[in-house]
Amino acid sequence: MKYTKLGKSDLTVSRICMGCMGFGNAAAGQHHWTLDEAQTREIIRHGLELGINFYDTAIAYQSGTSEQFVGRALRDFAKRDDFVIATKFTPRTQDEIEAGVSGQKHIENYLNQSLKNLGLDYVDLYICHMWDYHTPMEEIMEGLHNAVKAGKARYVGISNCFTWQLAKTNFYARENGLTEFVSIQGHYNLIAREEEREMAPFCADQNIAMTPYSSLASGRLSRRPGETSRRLEQDAYAKFKYDATAEADNKIIARVAELADRRGVSMTEISLAWLLTKVTAPIVGATKFSHVEGAVHAVDLELTQDEIDYLEELYVPHALVGVMAQNGRQRAGNVV
């Protein structure tokens, strides 16, 4: 495994971050394909053995049970200083808004619950899961700063935002002596490259770490067209994200397969080796030992510039999907 600094922070992270959305009680949330606690522990133990020290979860994953499983496993298998845990909070709920819970209080409450779920005194990275159009940005930034001052979060990050939103919040924080975001968790992979337009140059300029999610397009960049899996069949949300562009995407996926054959490696290794040339640490969802191993091997694969160009050549701009599409609709003033 190779390690790097997470942007401007003092955190040393593995070049692969393990995505923990696939862990948790399958009856308790959005995903029915998640691993139970015993299986989760095996995957995390294997990740630690292979040098992965960076783990990404969220309070929203399976109603906090991902945090619970991940926290227990990390505490049992590693020393606190030897892992970097990131978790995320969601926007204020309608009930909180009606009850007059401020943005600051919302963050305090959610972080306390996440720490309880994880069984930890602090998280290394506390991430704003998505832009909150119903809470003043100033309250969010102050709430996050309070979390850092209280020692409950070492650093803060943001996910699913436009570049202007990250610029606005960080410059507001800088002007007001508050804590800036050190990382962005956006949707970025070989068949979803909209982050390259504004976000990537902004992050390079500001030394903000990019830790993209769905690095393998939820598995599409790991398998040949036509191959299926339990998750692919059950994950309606990810299917919806990529269905509209499947025809164009399959041409790129075919090039990934072609290069994998030529280099004698897996498609996962090609897809992640490409992303590793662009970002700090891709987040990879792993629910099998082979997933963890494929991601770890990718760190040692060097692509030539010709190979990178070949992989990039066929991309055409894509509409934003998932949470970012929702962000765009809300910006336009539509109620979501």
Ligand X SMILES: NC(=O)c1ccc[n+]([C@@H]2O[C@H](COP(=O)([O-])OP(=O)(O)OC[C@H]3O[C@@H](n4cnc5c(N)ncnc54)[C@H](OP(=O)(O)O)[C@@H]3O)[C@@H](O)[C@H]2O)c1
- Restricted to residues 127-146, the positions that interact with ligand X (CB under 6 A) are 129
Please tell me whether residue 188 binds ligand X under the rule CB under 6 A: no
Which of 141, 184, 217, 321 is in the footprint of ligand X by CB under 6 A?
A: 217
The separation between CA 143 and the C-alpha centre of its own chain, rounded to angstroms, equals 22
Of 16-24, 90-98, 245-253, 312-320: span binding ligand X (CB under 6 A): 16-24
Of 24-32, 169-177, 216-224, 310-318: span binding ligand X (CB under 6 A): 216-224
DSSP result, 63-115: GGHHHHHHHHHHHHHS-GGG-EEEEEEPPPPHHHHHTT--HHHHHHHHHHHHH
| Gap between the Cα atoms of 13 and 84, Å rounded | 7
Which of 222, 252, 256, 275 is in the footprint of ligand X by CB under 6 A?
A: 222
Please tell me whether residue 232 binds ligand X under the rule CB under 6 A: yes
Please tell me whether residue 284 binds ligand X under the rule CB under 6 A: yes
Please tell me whether residue 277 binds ligand X under the rule CB under 6 A: no
Which of 34, 183, 215, 280 is in the footprint of ligand X by CB under 6 A?
A: 215
Provide the 10 A C-beta neighbour count for residue 139.
17
Which of 6, 13, 21, 52 is in the footprint of ligand X by CB under 6 A?
A: 21
Work out how close the CB of 190 gets to ligand X at its nearest, in angstroms, rounded to a whole number: 10
Of 102-110, 161-169, 201-209, 231-239: span binding ligand X (CB under 6 A): 231-239
With a CB cutoff of 8 Å and minimum separation 6, the contacts of 64 are: 113, 114, 117
Which of 3, 55, 61, 110 is catalytic? The answer is 61
Residues that contact ligand X, how many (by CB under 6 A) = 33
Q: By C-beta, is 14 or 222 nearer to ligand X? A: 222
CA atoms within 13 A on the CB side of 232: 15
| Gap between the Cα atoms of 185 and 164, Å rounded | 15
Q: By C-beta, is 176 or 289 nearer to ligand X? A: 289
Which of 5, 8, 75, 231 is in the footprint of ligand X by CB under 6 A?
A: 231
- Restricted to residues 307-326, the positions that interact with ligand X (CB under 6 A) are 323
Please tell me whether residue 59 binds ligand X under the rule CB under 6 A: no
| Gap between the Cα atoms of 326 and 323, Å rounded | 5
Q: In this structure, is the dihedral angle defined by the CA atoms of residues 332, 101, 91 and 83, taken in order, positive or negative?
A: positive
Which of 141, 152, 291, 311 is in the footprint of ligand X by CB under 6 A?
A: 291
Q: By C-beta, is 49 or 150 nearer to ligand X? A: 49
Length of the chain: 336
Structure token digits, residue 130? 């998505």
| Gap between the Cα atoms of 85 and 157, Å rounded | 12
Give me the residues paired with residue 125 across strands: 86, 155
Residue 303 is given by DSSP the state P
DSSP result, 208-226: PEE--B-TTGGGTTTS-TT
Q: By C-beta, is 102 or 234 nearer to ligand X? A: 234
315 is catalytic: no
Work out how close the CB of 231 gets to ligand X at its nearest, in angstroms, rounded to a whole number: 4
Buried b (16+ CB within 10 A) or exposed e, 223-259: beeeeeeebeeebeebeebbeebeeebeebbebbbeb
Please tell me whether residue 237 binds ligand X under the rule CB under 6 A: no
Which of 13, 34, 56, 190 is in the footprint of ligand X by CB under 6 A?
A: 56
Q: Which residues bind ligand X (CB under 6 A)?
A: 19-22, 56, 129, 159-160, 185, 213-219, 222, 229, 231-232, 238, 266, 268, 283-287, 290-291, 294-295, 323
Active site residues per annotation: 61
